[in-house]
Amino acid sequence: GAVVSQHPSRVICKSGTSVKIECRSLDFQATTMFWYRQFPKQSLMLMATSNEGSKATYEQGVEKDKFLINHASLTLSTLTVTSAHPEDSSFYICSAPGGGVDEQFFGPGTRLTVL
Amino acid sequence: KQEVTQIPAALSVPEGENLVLNCSFTDSAIYNLQWFRQDPGKGLTSLLLIQSSQREQTSGRLNASLDKSSGRSTLYIAASQPGDSATYLCAVSVGSAGNMLTFGGGTRLMVKP
């Protein structure tokens, strides 16, 4: 199946700093990518839809100025958590619809810990 | 608003048992339904995808069924093994391909040797 990578896999940062997470589709192009957040022992919650060449679409309750999304190319979307705080500590996962099929393929996730 | 529920939330069985995981959704107008496996601290692995026009899909020891009209899907795992221990998530997609998924809360499965 299609492969989606994320970098970094784990990041620990101090409160107030910004953290950038990359999501790449390795063997297919994705005009749309999705960013999810997963708190411990909870399911995935959609944060935003990343659209190549246009603005991201954010779900209700997600601050667009705090979670900046840039979909600069057909294989790369980035999520920047600005001025991170401890409550932003979570597991962030991206996904993309695999080229030509209806499945969603997920990255391995990024564990963010804000001290 | 689509809501997805998975029952049970947790399940512990001895090795070798056949088991069924349940998923229900409130809006039957889905495009497809996917079952995923998630190991602790890891991303998601797609197990089975069922299109809205299909009733079931099989892969090895896994069989997923879909009853769209009643808003239900089941994941059947035959002859369970300790390596099957993980969280199993179902998710539905509404609209055209590429739309975002709505996830259930997951079922945490433990298969004891």
pLDDT of A77-115, one tens digit each? Answer: 999 999 999 999 999 999 998 755 577 889 999 999 999
Return d(Cα B35, Cα A37) in angstroms, integer.
18
Residue of B46, B93, B106 with shortest CB distance to A43: B106
Residue A3: φ, ψ to 5°: -115, 130
pLDDT band for A58, please (50, 70, 90 cuts).
Answer: very high
pLDDT band for B84, please (50, 70, 90 cuts).
Answer: very high
Return d(Cα A99, Cα B53) in angstroms, integer.
21
Contacts of A27 (CB under 8 A, 6+ apart): A2, A3, A99
Return d(Cα B79, Cα B19) in angstroms, integer.
8
Q: What is the pLDDT of residue A42?
A: 87
Contacts of A71 (CB under 8 A, 6+ apart): A33, A50, A51, A52, A53, A54, A56, A77, A78
Q: What is the pLDDT of residue A100?
A: 58
For B30-67, what is each residue's pLDDT tens digit?
Answer: 888 999 999 988 889 999 999 989 999 999 999 999 99
Mean pLDDT of the region A38-63: 91
Give how far B98 is from chain A: nearest CA, Å. Answer: 5
- B-chain residues near A33 (CB < 8 A): none
- Write the single-letter amino acid at A83: S
- Write the single-letter amino acid at B73: S
Four-CA torsion B77, B81, B85, B86, nearest 10 degrees = -40
pLDDT cut 70: percent of chain B above it: 96
Per the CB < 8 A criterion, the answer to whether A36 and A94 are in contact is yes
Q: What angle do CA B107, B110, B113 make, to 5 degrees?
A: 160
Per the CB < 8 A criterion, the answer to whether A85 and A14 are in contact is no
Q: What is the pLDDT of residue A20?
A: 97
Q: How many CB pairs under 8 A join A and B?
A: 57
Give how far B104 is from chain A: nearest CA, Å. Answer: 7
Give how far A102 is from chain B: nearest CA, Å. Answer: 5
**Nearest Cα to Cα of residue B87 among B110, B60, B64:** B110
Return d(Cα B80, Cα B62) in angstroms, integer.
10
Q: What is the pLDDT of residue A26?
A: 92
pLDDT cut 90: percent of chain A above it: 76
Q: What is the pLDDT of residue B10?
A: 95
Q: Considering chain B, what is the average pLDDT of its residues?
A: 93
Q: Most B CBs within 10 Å: which of A49, A93, A104, as the mutation test of the B interface?
A: A104
Q: What is the pLDDT of residue A104?
A: 83
- B-chain residues near A95 (CB < 8 A): 44, 101
Contact A1 B46 (CB under 8 A): yes
Taking only Cα atoms into account, the Rg of chain B, rounded to an integer number of angstroms, comes to 13
In eight-state DSSP terms, residue B84 is G
pLDDT band for B95, please (50, 70, 90 cuts).
Answer: low
Residue B98 pLDDT greater than 70, yes or no: no
Q: Most A CBs within 10 Å: which of B6, B38, B88, B100, as the mutation test of the A interface?
A: B100
B10 is written with which tokens?
Answer: 């947790």
